[in-house]
Amino acid sequence: MEPQIDPATNQPLPPDAIVRVLHITPKVHIYTLPATTPSSSSYLAASWTSLPQNPIFTARLRILETSLSPESDSSPPNLKVDILLESTSTSSSSPAGTAQLFAAAPYTTPAIVTPCSDSSRFFALRVSDPSSGKKASLGIGFEERSDAFDFNLALQECAKSLGFGASGGQPQQQQQQDKKDGEDVKKDWSLKDGETITINLGGKFGRRQQQDKKEEDGGQGKSLNSFALPPPPGGGNGGGGFSLPPPPPSASEARRQKRLSAQQMGFDDGANGEFA
């Protein structure tokens, strides 16, 4: 089995390397950038397309992700992403679908790809020659906005995989090393052998304990007679205050008392007892 070849460097890859195609656009237009471009943050696509001689040719664009084995079991996999510009063969003697590398851009920082300020279909791409190390900037233009959107979305996913994010393009391995170094310098607040912690509550509970103790001491000095119930109210004859009232008089006694009352008031029953 033939070893895999890295398209960006044309060098063989390790046998366990995994290569994935993250994005492909069959046709993009390549432009030369004007020499008067002031900075990488102010690219204008209008300056590329104004002259008919600026387009170089039409190429195929691919984004490849290569995963290499980690250096140790505890290390994360080594990832690298390359943006390839390839010229597809149109000759009848070449096999269909063969492509020749025109330029490669290792995606090591988000600054490798810069969008134009006047069009969402154009980007500035910084390519490099792996053999000589020379670098150059080229303009690429997509015919459809959907292709440009997919290209930009694939770059965002690559940035997350490589750990760029908010760190400004810092590689993931460097971020993990910085995090590890930060954990090493953290202070150790754990108790050593023989160390103790003293907590001073400021006498908050001491006053309450003293008050409870005083109440307990005062309660022990009192006689048990202080808990005796007072005597019930009653009359002065010493017979107790719970004497029952006398029973009501009978009917004959009531008539007798009524008759006596009438006689005392001067009434007479009469000879025949008609007033009885």
**pLDDT confidence of residue 193:** 76
**pLDDT confidence of residue 167:** 47
Q: Which domain holds residue 154?
A: 5-162
Q: How many domains does the chain have?
A: 1
Ranges of residues in the chain with a pLDDT under 50 are 167-169
In a domain, 205, yes or no: no
- Separation of alpha carbons 127 and 141, rounded Å: 15
**pLDDT confidence of residue 48:** 83
- Separation of alpha carbons 106 and 41, rounded Å: 19
In a domain, 264, yes or no: no
In a domain, 134, yes or no: yes
In a domain, 174, yes or no: no
**pLDDT confidence of residue 242:** 55
In a domain, 233, yes or no: no
In a domain, 242, yes or no: no
Q: Which two tokens stand for residue 127?
A: 């390519």
In a domain, 30, yes or no: yes
In a domain, 92, yes or no: yes
**How far apart are the two ends of the chain, measured CA to CA in Å?**
150
**pLDDT confidence of residue 97:** 58
Nearest to 56 by CA among 132, 7, 127, 149: 127
**pLDDT confidence of residue 227:** 55
Count Cα atoms within 13 angstroms, Cβ side, for 134.
3
Where residue 115 sits, what CATH number does that domain have? 2.30.29.30
**pLDDT confidence of residue 31:** 92
Q: Tell me: the pLDDT tens digits for 72-92?
A: 666 666 889 999 999 876 555
